[in-house]
Structure 1
């Protein structure tokens, strides 16, 4: 006999349902389908109380049929019985990559986790939380697995809590957030690599037997070389609109590790969590170790659907003010670098007003006196305004911004310090460094030790002081430029706790900032995309994808980020990088949150006229871009043109961005581009917006098209040399 429990959300009122079982009941198998609108992860406790994954994929209408799946695989028994384990332990029967490894208080290294019971909490009509308790029958050690499901979005967040009641401390050697098991004939992994100005470089390859590991050991800027987001396609590489594909992302800003192991039965074991590199964690009795959340969504209709699942979930449930507004801005960095004074900034405030954007952002170089911040080799950590540059402090700039009718924002990098600074002189024990080794710098700086509560107070104080002195401060750009070399804390007694306690310290600071200043927009910057994840984006309104603002490169970088993050999070600036005309640069920056980082005074009169009009045009479409569903129409890696559509939920309004990405052999949009997501029987018209002064559109705005026509035949935006960027507005009649 089998017991089957269906995990769905059907009621509005929060409800907790507990299931615990006697020994007699556990002689039967217990099946728990974890279902969203379209998908199911089904776990089952057998008569030996081993908890395994028996199904992952598209939801079946008949729940009873999940039990029939395993019998259809005619393979040799794995003997251990743990290949499909929901949370694979080590030291007993398992000989594969574990999700958890421990040393017990008595020195024993074995662990065997058995199912005890589970509980279901209905949080809302769309969100539900399953908790499953596993215990070792020999040791007083337990793990609780959590599965938080978002029904309509087909998204699951998974994490674990680890605790014990042994007579002494237990050492955790590995402590994953999730352990999934997929079954298919073949698997294709899409993951990313990069470096500064080369973020989000994609690679797709077939997984072969053995283990493929995605990881970071950088401490901060953890995604600099390899982001913690990835895709796994089943049977064949998924396309935008076809194929079975899993999107995964770890909600963590520090060292991560994702192991993908193809086992002897051709099953794919996916284990994700904090990187256990140099991070053995000593857990005291009755204390709980909570892992970060692992986020995933599955689609049987290709990458586009999976992407929209994740984007909708992010806007509705995870992002800070995900369905709200964002500020357009002018940044001074590319026009002044460190060379500015109060009068020059007053002029830039006038430029901000003239351009028509919402905010002026003062970047690096405004602080430090004993060691003035005139370059990146001094002053970092000394957060008082530089008296030579700003004799009247930041307050005079905030006041003048108000007089000009714009808002004022400021750059900080509060986790970091230059060796040449008063902070480093006064508090050398606050700096992460090995006491007996030579200091190793990254961008001429070191990292402050956020495992130390005093350092946490200092970092919070940097933000708090700015706001207490300048209550009308409207924006923070929070940077993080260094990685951690010579990882050592003068504060911690147990150095193996360092990487984990550093991240806990960072999150403590960010939570404290948000508790006191809940709505102030903050940009998550890290010299580019070195730190972007959904744990951090709970505290930030947007992130900086890359210091590379060449618009041709940005098309590709922003395209790849968009699979995992919605447009409202992507801060895109118009700069002087690249050789493309101002229209192309501006059109590319409009695919997210628009900003400018150039010298307005050096623009030609016509370019300035265009930029001012572009801000107004953007204001007319930004709501669709920020909150609409995204459809990728033409992939820049596969042809001459990149094209993507943002569409409102009611299918009535859309914005289509089209770019020429190949300038050879008269390249252009030779064929019509098929749209997606429209209502087939609705009629639409297309018009071109954001035209450069003196140019005319080749789009016939008098014609109308049915959604059926646009999705099956398409529309040609006439992208070519001389029309290398085209923005179309789509409107239902």
Structure 2
């Protein structure tokens, strides 16, 4: 190659380099502002001149996207030393002074991290769903983070998560690894959080956030929501209200330990950092490996909690809940009729009761398995999933056959993640059990947890479910329970013990995914001694969940009210039981606000009560479509009113179902004033009638009167609830003008 040729080549290479740099700069300049928009709202990122990615706006969408770049200029808040309070994903160890989203130790022992913009892209998943990816890299270490923003435009729902990877020579330790990092501006922030325990789930608390960090978290391993569910609300400027104000709903999609930090910073802005809990969970990330965090979902409503709920329900039915637009089975459960004390003939009798009652399915609960250590109580047998020959000499098949002969379906209870120390499984595979090898065992309901980080255990749990279907192809329903939490966390399988809490949940999802691949639409209830494991990652595999073992109908009004903020009624299993002192009509009416079931001794019901239940099931089958798929409106809060009221309205605004209950029995309280309805068409005419009446009861509702939708929403309607009629269900039907 001669000198001129070499010179020309060098010039050409130099020109290509200059051109490529110019194109990169042009690309960066053109993408300095990154709007992530739904129909109503926009989350806006900005890439500054140093390639830091920051959140500059989360609020109502602007018609001119070019104006998003002007948002920072209209704020005149005190500057901050770190200059990165609004980072889109806050790293630690560099110039950050606040709570980080990610903390690492590099292969060389260095604990600093800096994340700078590399590129971003937008993909259209379908007409309603967009996925934005923002790539960040450390300028010193070969360490990368990709931020993912999935926006469901019509529902105004955002899902956020990230992937973390590196190409360093040895493992990098991840000490914190949040899914999302939000930055919110307002004068004040009001948090609605929840706490609970067994039979006391979803107890709300409202407080104004003050400076410092408020943390919502769980460290239970399994049944992680028992004391603190992973859902919350933020009122922007004032406490969350039903129909007015800016409200953010947030929820972690993760069935294990979670952590949500809320830090009000020196500028009075709020930083929300949400993800898996890093408690005892340092993750050793290998070179070339990718660590993916779970999704954090959030939505912003400008019309209060009610609008936020309806949008979340729509999103859940369309995109998360298994078969969210499908049908559901009403059922009779044997638990409160028999507990562990039953045999084949007793169950045959209950199956006949199922037919007489008029529900779709008979559900056999705990106690049907184990022989060496029979499952006659909660102290033995768990883990030994062979049919108990003493109770069921002809196996599960005889119950499936008897159910079919009676024109009903058959379902069964399992708790395959757990084991009693008094079991063959424990004796055979003590290495499959989560427990410290040198410490005394500590039990939760006489149980220990199986190690689902172990692929052999995953195969075992899958086989428990698969074998039931192989032996009983007509099995129609599974109730999946989970009662224990993790004590003495230790895995005989894992080399890195700090991975256990993470790998357990990933192992659970792996099993559930295998089950759904083979049995895609079999209804399954997500149960965990009540609402101890309810989240949208788990509900991808389940058709419904069990909110609480507390089935006292008065308590259930409060429980179901709070759950209704985040979960649609089609996913909420409500059973009629003997709990509480309320009449059978009250109990049934409360259970109708979701997926109806029964857990009663049918043949012991007085004749009128049996007739009422039979009629109620027919009524429910007529109205369930409105309840499951309609828009929900909370009308009268049981926490502050003598009467609780809630309604569902169909898409055409032609039919609505209104539930009203007396929740204060003191001082002869009643519905003294009309209750304003919601969601109707103000221009339409409606007729109101009472439904689901007890046999012989006479309604107090004048069904001849016609009301405008405007009247019913502005003036309201009185359901005439009092001590003589403690629960009332109204049907509001549009008529021809």
Same fold (TM over 0.5): yes
CA contact (8 A) 1:29 1:46 kept: no
SS for the counterpart of 2:557 is helix
- The offset of 1:530, in angstroms, is 0.2
Q: Secondary structure at the match of 2:100?
A: coil
Name the residue aligned to 1:15: none
Measure how far apart 1:57 and its partner are.
Answer: 1.2
In 2, Cα distance between equivalents of 1:355 and 1:703: 35
User: Is structure 2 residue 439 aligned with structure 1 residue 437?
Assistant: yes
**Could you say which residue in structure 1 is the equivalent of 2:8?**
none
1:110 corresponds to 2:87: no
Q: Which residue of 2 aligns with 1:506?
A: 508
Match of 2:58 in 1: 56
Instruction: Give, in whole Å, the separation in 1 of the partners of 2:34 and 2:585.
Output: 55
Q: Which residue of 2 aligns with 1:640?
A: 642
In the alignment, what sits opposite 1:274?
A: 276
After superposition, give the CA deviation of every residue in 1:654-698 in whole Å (9 maximum; x if it has no partner). 111111100111211111111111111011111111100110111
Correspondence for 2:426: 424
C-alpha deviations, 1:273-323, integer Å up to 9, x for none? 000000000111111100000011100110000111100000011110000
Gaps of 5+ in 1: 1-18
Q: CA deviation at 1:596?
A: 0.2
Relative to structure 1, is the Cα distance of residues 625 and 21 closer, same or farther in structure 2, using a 3 angstrom cutoff?
farther
Shift of 1:29: 7.0
SS at match of 1:247: strand
Residue in 1 that maps onto 2:402: 400
1:510-529 deviation digits (Å, cap 9, x = unpaired) = 00000000010000000000
2:457 is aligned, of 420, 437, 455, to: 455
Cα distance between partner residues in 2 of 1:72 and 1:307:
32
What does residue 556 of structure 1 align with?
558
Task: Answer whether contact 1:624 1:646 (CA < 8 A) is retained.
Answer: yes
Counterparts of 2:567 and 2:662 in 1: how far apart (Å)? 24
Does structure 1 residue 68 correspond to structure 2 residue 70? yes
Q: Deviations over 1:369-404 (max 9, x none)?
A: 000000000000000110010000000000010000
Counterpart check, 1:531 vs 2:533: yes
Q: Deviations over 1:332-384 (max 9, x none)?
A: 00010000000000000000000000000000000000000000000000001
Equivalence for 1:728? 730
Given that 2:175 and 2:282 are in contact with CA atoms closer than 8 Å, whether structure 1 keeps it comes out as yes
Deviates more, 1:384-393 or 1:19-28: 19-28
Question: Paired residue for 1:122?
Answer: 124
8 Å contact 2:220–2:485 — kept in the other structure? yes
Instruction: Report if the CA contact (8 A) 1:213-1:258 is conserved.
Output: yes
| Equivalent position of 1:295 in the other structure | 297
Give the match for residue 692 of structure 1. 694
Alignment correspondent of 1:375: 377
Match of 1:598 among 590, 597, 600: 600
Deviation at 1:647, TM superposition (A): 0.8
The answer to whether the 8 Å contact 2:257/2:277 transfers is yes
Distance 1:201 1:429 in 2: 38
In the alignment, the residues of structure 2 paired with residue 128 and residue 558 of structure 1 have an alpha-carbon distance, to the nearest angstrom, of 33
Compute the displacement of 1:23 (Å).
Answer: 4.2
Q: State the 1:28 CA deviation.
A: 7.5
For residues 253-268 of structure 1, the aligned pairs below 5 Å read 253-268=255-270
Counterpart residue number, 1:331: 333
| TM-score, normalised by the number of residues in structure 2 | 0.96
- Output the CA distance in 1 between the equivalents of 2:449 and 2:324: 30
Corresponding residue of 1:488: 490
SS at match of 2:427: helix
Q: Matches of 1:700 and 1:124 in 2, distance apart? A: 49
The residue number in structure 2 matching 1:172 is: 174
- How far has the Cα of 1:542 moved from its partner? 0.3
- How many Å separate the matches in 2 of 1:108 and 1:444? 45
Q: Contact conserved, 2:233 with 2:240, CA < 8 A, in 1? A: no
Please tell me whether residue 207 in structure 1 is matched to residue 222 in structure 2. no
CA contact (8 A) 1:20 1:118 kept: no
Query: What SS is found at the alignment partner of 1:111?
Result: coil
Q: Which among 676, 692, 708 is matched to residue 678 of structure 2? A: 676
CA contact (8 A) 1:21 1:116 kept: no
2:24 to 10, 22, 25: 22
Matched-pair contact (CA < 8 Å) for 1:319–1:538: yes
Aligned residue number for residue 388 of structure 1: 390
Change in Cα spacing, 1:723 to 1:67, as seen in structure 2 (3 Å) is same
Against the structure 1 CA distance between its residues 29 and 624, is the aligned structure 2 distance closer, same or farther, given a 3 Å change threshold?
closer
Deviation at 1:601, TM superposition (A): 1.4
What is the Cα-based RMSD across aligned positions, in Å?
A: 1.1
Q: How does 1:223-262 map to 2 (within 5 A)?
A: 223-262=225-264
Question: What is the TM-score when the length of structure 1 is the normalising length?
Answer: 0.97
**Consecutive aligned runs of 4 or more in structure 1 exceeding 4 Å deviation:** none
Partners of 1:703 and 1:709 in 2: how far apart? 12
- The worse-fitting range, judged by mean Cα deviation, of 598-607 and 406-415 is 598-607
Partner of 1:546: 548
Secondary structure (helix, strand or coil) at the match of 2:32 reads strand
Equivalent residue, structure 1, for 2:630: 628
1:132 paired residue number: 134
- 1:302-341 maps to which residues of 2 (within 5 A)? 302-341=304-343
State how far apart, in whole Å, the 2-side matches of 1:731 and 1:669 are. Answer: 22
State the number of aligned residues: 715
Deviations 1:218-253 (A, max 9, x none): 000100000000000111112100010100000000
Q: Which runs of 5+ in 2 are unaligned?
A: 1-20
Name whichever of 373-382 and 23-32 sits farther off: 23-32
- The residue number in structure 1 matching 2:35 is 33
Deviation at 1:68, TM superposition (A): 2.3
**How big is the shift at 1:73?**
2.0
| Inter-partner Cα distance in structure 2 for 1:158 and 1:387 | 50
1:152 to 148, 151, 154: 154
Q: Aligned partners of 1:126 and 1:482: how far apart in 2? A: 40
Contact kept in structure 2, 1:30 and 1:44, CA below 8 Å: yes
3-state SS of 1:686 partner: strand
Q: Distance in 2 between matches of 1:476 and 1:31?
A: 49
Alignment check: 8 A CA contact 1:635 1:642 kept: yes
Please list the CA deviations of residues 174-199 of structure 1 after superposition, one character each: whole Å capped at 9, or x if unmatched: 00000000000000000000000000
- Matched-pair contact (CA < 8 Å) for 2:374–2:388: yes
Matched-pair contact (CA < 8 Å) for 2:174–2:283: yes
Computing the radius of gyration from Cα coordinates, the structure with the larger value is: 2
Give the superposition deviation at 1:20: 12
For residues 55-103 of structure 1, the C-alpha deviation after alignment (integer angstroms, 9 at most, x for no partner) is 1111122222222222222222112121000100000010100000001
1:613 corresponding residue in structure 2 = 615
